[in-house]
Amino acid sequence: MLTVFVEPQRCIACGQCEFACAVAHSRSLDPVLALVESPQPRSRVYVQAGPHPNTAYPNKCRHCDPAPCQMVCPSGAISRVAASDVVLIDERKCIACAMCAIVCPFDVITYHEQAVGDAVVRTVAVKCDGCLDRLAAGRIPACAETCKTGALRFGEINDFMAEGQRRETATVLAAAAAMSPTDADGIVAWRATGAYVATPGGVR
């Protein structure tokens, strides 16, 4: 499954993803002209500072399956695109009841004024749409394209998970290699006999 994968340890809270997302959802698609549009284009990714210095998290819609927002929407404004597995909001059907925001487990649905239909401006639910227009044009989502630190990356989720598994394995093996000779002796003995052995520190 193709998705935007988040690595929070890489986020520096620069906000470039938020700006790029807003521009990608503007009428002009221009970073200068978008600033003076009315209503203002809104980001669908939200960067929040973490509890500790130099920590932050770029929060965005996960397009849950099943999606709680879709299940509770009384007007049928929220649906899933089968081909892309993305959950979308039809702004023409949205009645701004906030039911979707209440049940969203990740708090990524907001409400803003948007031009709906024939330039009618209404307050409606706003969330990530997976940048389907950009994908159709052979580009990747705006947030991932602009992220310079790799906190947001677009690709196959299983590839990202495999990469994380390799990283964790390397970390564990490096820690094992740095163990003291006494600890290493117990590991060598365990591997040689296939059984737990008694050591001065206890049973291993």
Show the tokens assigned to 43. Answer: 């980001």
pLDDT of residue 197: 53
Query: Residue 118 carries which side chain, given as an amino acid letter?
Result: D
pLDDT of the residue at 83:
87
For residues 190 and 196, what is the distance between their CA atoms, to the nearest angstrom?
6
Q: How many CA atoms lie within 13 A of 152 on its CB side?
A: 29
Give the pLDDT confidence score for residue 184 in this predicted structure.
Answer: 57
Q: Residue 11, Cβ neighbours under 10 Å: how many? A: 23
Of the candidates 156, 178, 132, 107, the one whose C-alpha atom is nearest the C-alpha of residue 3 is: 156
Per-residue 3-state assignment (H helix, E strand, C coil) for 97-136: CCHHHHHCCCCCCEEEEEEECCCEEEEEEECCCCCHHHHH
CA–CA gap between residue 21 and residue 47 (Å, rounded): 12
Kindly report whether the global pTM for this prediction surpasses the value 0.75: yes
Q: pLDDT of the chain along its 204 residues, tens only?
A: 889 999 999 999 999 999 999 999 999 999 999 999 999 999 999 999 888 888 899 999 999 999 999 999 999 999 999 888 999 999 999 999 999 999 999 999 999 999 887 768 999 999 999 999 999 999 999 999 999 999 999 999 899 889 889 989 998 888 877 776 555 566 666 666 665 555 555 555
Taken in order of first residue, the domains within the chain and their CATH numbers are 2-161 (3.30.70.20)
Count other C-beta atoms under 10 Å from residue 115's C-beta: 16
